[in-house]
Each structure stands twice: as C-alpha cells, then as structure tokens.
C-alpha cells in the first residue's frame, strides 16, 4: 500500500499570506495526485488533479506541483474562505490512499 | 447537475449489518466507476472501495475486505455498500464519490456502530 504523508499537520497563516502544503508518497505515483479542500461539516471539494491541473471553477491562487514522490499545494494569497483542511490522495495504484490532512488556520 | 445522494446510515450494534445506497443523477451513471470513501469523526479521509462501470471488478481497502461488498445497479442509477460484521472503528460518515477527475461527492451518510 502506498502511504501518503502530509506536512505540516497544522499551518497557521495570516490572511493575504502565502501557504505551502506538502504531500509525500512512499513510492512513485507519477502525477496521479488529487488535492481536496474540506470545510468542517461539508464534503471535500476537488482543487487539483494530475498533481497540477486546477479543477473546474478553482481560483488561480491555488496551484499544485510535483511528481514522483514529492508534491506541494500552494495558496498564493490566503482568503478567509481558504481556512480549511486540505487532503492529498494518490490514484496511481490500489488501494487508493489519502494523507492525514493539513489544517490551515488563522494566525 | 451531477447529484449523489447517500442513504441508509444509522445506529447499529457491533457485529451487525447495514446497507448503504447512493442515488445518482445528472450524468450517465453506467459510464463511471464509483467509490465509497469514509471519514471517522474528527479524522481524515479513508478510501474503502471501488466498482468499475460495469460492476464486474471491485477493489477494497484491507480494513473492510471480506466484510464490505460494493455493488451497483446501472438500470436504477444506484450504488450500494453492504456492510457486515460492523465494528466500532467503522463509525464514520460514508461518502459516495464518482470516479474520474471532476470530483463529485455526495453529502455523506453517518454510520454509528455502538452498543
């Protein structure tokens, strides 16, 4: 099973600042990676697929990069609605696996 | 509009069974594989199972293999999850998720396993 490790567990950021979240795979997954945003009480919302392609309707301040085992999600200038939990998921192999999540909260 | 509506959650005793359903609309259901993903209270997301478009092939997480069965009825646009031998650590919100890269999730249904 591919283990996905996200860091940090919590990231405290001021509105308007840049945030960079990391996701590491235990073996190469190419670019078969999703990033999701989840606001408490809601279903996850897809932000990025194929490691770097923004999903429909996702603002340009969200960007994804990486390949192989190292990936990152960058939010260029945090807005109030971006304070949430972010999850990465690999879809290169079965079973599909998620990271444990990174909570972005207000500094 | 793609719509996925889960149902069937509730309180069940350890060792019991429950059957979840997901009603799909707004797209060609038979053209997409489907997943079940769960989230325990206050925890991260856990993928549990997947069924291919035709229903002929399934995949499971080790944590549910042998206890859960995913199936689909393309005539009824319905996805199912039969859960047997339920344990306390199966307590979670269960989401129905369309396969592919467009990220369509249902709102989830809560399963509580407790005596």
Q: How far apart are CA B16 and CA A44, in angstroms?
A: 29
With H, G, I as helix, E, B as strand and everything else as coil, classify residue A95: coil
With H, G, I as helix, E, B as strand and everything else as coil, classify residue A35: strand
Closest chain A residue to the Cα of B110, Cα to Cα: A41
Report the gap between the CA of B13 and the closest CA in chain A (Å).
25
Per residue of chain A (107 residues), what is the pLDDT tens digit? 999 999 999 999 999 999 999 999 999 999 999 999 999 999 999 999 999 999 999 999 999 999 999 999 999 999 999 999 999 999 999 999 999 999 999 88
For B15-31, the pLDDT digits (tens) are 999 999 999 999 999 99
Q: Within 10 Å of residue A26's Cβ, how many Cβ atoms?
A: 13
Verify whether the Cβ–Cβ distance B35 to A34 is below 8 Å. Answer: no
Compute the CA torsion angle B35, B39, B44, B50 (nearest 10 deg): -10
Report the gap between the CA of A21 and the closest CA in chain B (Å).
16
Statement: residue B81 has pLDDT above 90: yes
> Which of B55, B97, B56 minimizes the C-alpha distance to A98?
B97
């Amino acid at each position: 099973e591919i283990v996905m490790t996200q860091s940090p567990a919590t990231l405290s950021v001021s509105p308007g600042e840049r945030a960079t979240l990391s996701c590491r795979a235990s073996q190469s997954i190419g670019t078969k990676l999703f990033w999701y945003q989840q606001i408490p009480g809601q279903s996850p919302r897809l932000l990025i697929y194929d490691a770097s392609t923004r999903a429909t309707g996702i603002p340009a301040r969200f960007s994804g990069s990486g390949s192989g085992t190292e990936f990152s999600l960058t939010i260029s200038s945090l807005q109030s609605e971006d304070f949430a939990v972010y999850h990465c998921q690999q879809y290169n192999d079965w079973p599909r696996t998620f990271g444990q999540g990174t909570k972005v909260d207000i500094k | 509009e793609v719509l996925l509506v889960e149902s069937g959650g509730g309180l069940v005793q350890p060792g019991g069974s429950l059957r979840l359903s997901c009603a799909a609309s707004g797209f060609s259901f038979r053209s997409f594989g489907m997943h079940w993903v769960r989230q325990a209270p206050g925890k991260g997301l856990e993928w549990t199972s997947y069924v291919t478009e035709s229903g002929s092939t399934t995949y499971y997480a080790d944590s549910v293999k042998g206890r859960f069965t995913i199936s689909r009825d393309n005539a009824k646009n319905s996805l199912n999850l039969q859960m047997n031998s339920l344990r306390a650590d199966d307590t979670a919100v269960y989401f129905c998720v369309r396969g592919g890269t467009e990220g369509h999730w249902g709102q989830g249904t809560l399963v509580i396993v407790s005596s």
